């Protein structure tokens, strides 16, 4: 079957026909995250080398603190948060665009009253995330700004 | 120099440090479009196989009617519009997600009072767009719904 172009209509941060999944990866640590894979899931849109996912983190929730060789392109769609990115802590908000380079530790935190929702684009073929080892964790926890935000 | 992670803050559909460019491609036909390349421009973020661009079409404006082998992943950030996509005309609005498969004719039209703004993700290496030839144009113009919207 040939590739089919399509429009996926959105309403209130849900996309028509796209399943809402609890985000879970064995061995990672996270809280209160959902995922919708908008384009490039499994056998869909094979001409696409990348996947477009929408993640939403409930207020007070956070993503796994991890790094990997593959990159992330992130665009925030709603809410506010803080991002551990390498050795720095950034405030992030609507439409901010984030590049996560290879092997950069990162962790998203939803702050404020609204969920933190963002698009995250990744290569279809990618390596598994790595959690920090004890030395890396100790180093991150000692960083000003970053340290108090670290969740594992 | 190693790849650098970064946060590009947004405000009112402009991204910090990202130049705003008039969108122009030799031999194509379009009206009232600006472009900001958020990630993956030229020598930036070489680990990224794709580019993330933000386009904005002024009310009443439209993009070139074209097709190409490379794909588009599009997410609308603001405004409303109509999209010629293959043989169909779609109404599009905020957060709608669009997949444009290889060789599918497409043309974005901004309707309503607000600009139509959208993210468009493409492979870094890609072929040049092709305009419709006379036969293809006649065929598109004869399609119900699509025909009256065609602009060249």
Q: Which residues contact A55 (CB under 8 A, 6 or more apart)?
A: A23, A33, A34, A35, A63, A108, A117, A118, A120
Collapsing DSSP to helix, strand or coil, A20 comes out as coil
The pLDDT value given to residue A78: 98
Is 90 exceeded by the pLDDT of residue A32? no
The pLDDT value given to residue B26: 46
Burial class (CB in 10 A: 0-12, 13-18, 19+), A24: exposed
Alpha-carbon Rg for chain B, nearest whole angstrom, is: 16
The pLDDT value given to residue B108: 97
Mean pLDDT across chain B, nearest whole number?
92
The pLDDT value given to residue B114: 95
Of the candidates A76, A84, A120, A146, the residue annotated as catalytic is A120
How many residue contacts between A and B have a Cβ separation below 8 Å?
132
The pLDDT value given to residue A25: 52
In chain A, residues with a C-beta closer than 8 Å to the C-beta of B2 are 101
The pLDDT value given to residue B3: 67
Q: What does the alpha-carbon distance between residue B117 and residue B48 come to, in Å, rounded to a whole number?
A: 23
What value does the mean pLDDT take over residues B66-95?
97
Collapsing DSSP to helix, strand or coil, B139 comes out as helix
Walk me through the domains of chain A, giving residue ranges and CATH numbers. Answer: 19-146 (2.60.120.10)
Query: Tens of pLDDT along A33-75?
Result: 999 999 998 777 888 888 999 999 999 999 999 999 999 999 9
Q: What is the ipTM of this complex?
A: 0.93
Burial call A58-76: b when 16+ CB within 10 Å, e when fewer: ebebbbbbbbbebbbbbbb
Quote the pTM value.
0.93
CB atoms A85 and B49 under 8 Å? no
Whether A45 contacts chain B with CB within 8 A: yes
Is 50 exceeded by the pLDDT of residue B68? yes
Whether A123 contacts chain B with CB within 8 A: yes
Are residues B67 and B105 in contact, defined by beta-carbon separation less than 8 angstroms? yes
User: Could you tell me what percentage of chain A is helix, strand and coil, using 3-state DSSP and rounding each to the nearest 5?
Assistant: 5, 45, 45
What value does the mean pLDDT take over residues B119-124?
93
Cα distances from B62 to residues B28, B59, B73, in angstroms, run 12, 9, 18
Is 60 exceeded by the pLDDT of residue B100? yes
Mean pLDDT across chain A, nearest whole number?
92
The pLDDT value given to residue A28: 53
What value does the mean pLDDT take over residues B88-95?
98
In chain A, residues with a C-beta closer than 8 Å to the C-beta of B122 are none
DSSP A148: G
Is 80 exceeded by the pLDDT of residue A83? yes
What value does the mean pLDDT take over residues B28-51?
83
CB atoms A121 and B121 under 8 Å? yes
In chain B, residues with a C-beta closer than 8 Å to the C-beta of A47 are 71, 101-102
pLDDT band of B24, cuts 50, 70, 90 = low
Shortest CA gap B18–chain A (Å)? 11
DSSP string, B90-101: EEE-TT-EEEE-
B97 catalytic, yes or no?
Answer: no
Instruction: Decide which of B141 and B112 is more confident.
Output: B141
Whether B6 contacts chain A with CB within 8 A: yes
């Amino acid at each position: 079957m040939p590739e089919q172009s399509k429009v996926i209509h959105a309403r209130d941060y849900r996309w028509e026909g796209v399943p809402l999944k609890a985000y879970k990866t064995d061995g990672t640590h996270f809280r209160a995250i959902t995922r919708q894979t908008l384009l490039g899931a499994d056998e869909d849109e094979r001409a696409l080398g990348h996947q477009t996912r929408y993640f939403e983190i409930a207020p007070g929730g956070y993503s796994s603190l991890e790094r990997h060789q593959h990159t992330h392109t992130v665009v925030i769609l709603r809410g506010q948060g803080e991002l551990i990115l390498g050795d720095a802590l950034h405030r992030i908000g609507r439409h901010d665009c984030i590049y996560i380079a290879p092997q950069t530790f990162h962790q998203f935190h939803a702050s404020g009253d609204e969920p933190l929702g963002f698009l995250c684009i990744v290569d279809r073929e990618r390596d598994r995330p790595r959690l920090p080892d004890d030395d890396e964790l100790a180093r991150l926890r000692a960083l000003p700004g970053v340290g108090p935000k670290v969740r594992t």
